[in-house]
Amino acid sequence: MKKSIAKYLLLLVTSTIISIPFFSESAFAQDTAARVKWTKITIRLYDRSKMSGYLYKVEDDSVLLIRDKIPYKSSSELLSQPRIAARPERIDKIYVNNKRMAPLIGAGIGFGAGVITGFLIGNDPPGFVSFSASDKAVMLGATGGVIGAITGLIIHLAASKTLIISGKKDNYRSYQKQLALQSLIH
């Protein structure tokens, strides 16, 4: 009895330690560029062409994007990057893509937790249906990975938005503050 409680306690501690970096925004941040919030957006124009990049700045008369996510150490380096501008009259829709990595992160966490759980539960006693610890690790890892990926996909879909501008400045202005909060330069 005490041995199974110790296994489950070890499982809880290990799962918590493994998942902390995925839920901490600053766990991997080493410099200024890593801490900057990069928001990937795609703008569909009325001529059906698309512009994609990272949201740089939202102005009264345009949305500014930069194409590449660049490492920088000062704001002057960021200001020197070439920008792409889209005027509200030409914009049909803006797709804001947040949490793009959520399904992959969810699958990784679910798989890891399932494998650890499978090994901690151990071998079944011999009988009609019994599984080894490695069999359980594979089965629980696969199940946890699928459940984690589905959860991550739901998070991704909930965090992504489509803003319908339809070339109208009033529509653009209604989303302007929301977009500005996600831009690199406020």
Nearest to 94 by CA among 172, 9, 147, 154: 172
Q: Cβ(89)–Cβ(167) under 8 Å?
A: yes
The C-alpha angle 83, 86, 91, rounded to 5 degrees, equals: 155
Instruction: Give the pair of three-digit tokens for residue 95.
Output: 């797709």
Q: What is the CA radius of gyration of the chain?
A: 23
pTM score of the predicted model:
0.59
- Give the pLDDT of the chain (186 residues) as one tens digit per residue: 455 666 666 666 676 666 666 555 544 444 444 456 778 888 999 888 998 888 888 888 889 888 877 665 556 666 667 788 888 899 999 998 877 788 999 999 999 999 999 998 888 888 888 888 889 899 999 999 999 999 999 988 888 888 889 889 899 899 888 888 888 777
Q: Cβ(118)–Cβ(153) under 8 Å?
A: no
Q: How many CB atoms lie within 10 A of CB 108?
A: 19
The C-alpha angle 157, 94, 55, rounded to 5 degrees, equals: 95
63-93 pLDDT, tens digit per residue, is 988 887 766 555 666 666 778 888 889 999 9
Instruction: Give the pair of three-digit tokens for residue 162.
Output: 């489509």
pLDDT at 159: 82
